[in-house]
């Protein structure tokens, strides 16, 4: 099976509020979740139809939480602090803008320590090409519905997959 390509999409949300407890420095808490979305491309008919097969938590990457103290919210300081901790300059650059914007909100009292929470949703899109035959019985897909097993990129007839699962006791 060919994996045509993989793309990464980021969705970042940040919110700020004044620290509720006595603190001399501001804090940024980053929550990261990683997902995989499987898309199937069908090039058999001459067009490039894409079907979404599902989305689930990425088994290769666990979610994480990171808490960082910040002395100031200048863009260069934010970037250096994030890049050091995340080892990802692109992600650090994206997050810097959200954190900076939140730190400059007019409705927050300036000069007081802030708590900024950042939620990063990372989605890895994997594009697969539709196979011609079932990986179990090796017959064409023309007559029956195609299915996939979570965590596996092979394609099966729904009936073949169900029978295989029953035989394996899964």
Give the model's pLDDT for residue 1.
44
The model's pLDDT over 63-112, given as tens digits with 9 standing for 90+, comes to 899 999 998 999 999 999 999 999 999 999 999 999 999 999 989 887 78
Domains of the chain in sequence order:
6-130 (no CATH), 131-169 (3.30.40.10)
Give the model's pLDDT for residue 139.
83
Q: What is the pTM of this model?
A: 0.68
Q: What percent of the chain has pLDDT over 70?
A: 83
Could you tell me which residue, 114 or 23, shows the higher pLDDT? 114
Average pLDDT over residues 8-25: 80
**Given phi > 0 = left and psi -120 to 50 = alpha, else beta, which region is 34?**
beta
The pLDDT of residue 132 is above 80: no
Average pLDDT over residues 2-22: 74
Average confidence score pLDDT of the chain: 82
Give the model's pLDDT for residue 133.
81
The pLDDT of residue 18 is above 50: yes
- Cα–Cα distances in Å, from 70 out to 45, 57, 75, 106? 55, 30, 12, 19
Could you identify the residue written with the tokens 């994480």?
64
Highest mean pLDDT among 5-14, 27-36, 74-83: 74-83
Average pLDDT over residues 116-127: 88
The model's pLDDT over 157-167, given as tens digits with 9 standing for 90+, comes to 878 888 888 88
């Amino acid at each position: 099976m060919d994996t045509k390509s993989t793309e990464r999409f980021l969705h970042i949300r940040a919110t700020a509020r004044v620290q509720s407890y006595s603190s001399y420095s501001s804090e940024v808490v980053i929550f990261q979740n990683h997902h995989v979305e499987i898309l199937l491309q069908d090039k058999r008919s001459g067009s490039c139809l894409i079907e979404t097969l599902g989305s689930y938590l990425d088994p290769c990457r666990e979610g994480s939480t990171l808490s960082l103290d910040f002395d100031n919210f200048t863009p260069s300081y934010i970037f250096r602090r994030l890049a050091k901790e995340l080892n990802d300059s692109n992600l650090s650059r994206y997050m810097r803008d959200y954190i900076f914007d939140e730190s400059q909100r007019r409705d927050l009292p300036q000069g007081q320590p802030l708590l900024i929470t950042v939620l990063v949703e990372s989605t890895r899109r994997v594009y697969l090409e539709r196979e011609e035959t079932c990986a179990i019985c090796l017959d064409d897909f023309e007559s029956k519905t195609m299915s996939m097993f979570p965590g596996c990129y092979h394609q099966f007839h729904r009936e073949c997959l169900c029978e295989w699962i029953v035989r394996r006791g899964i």
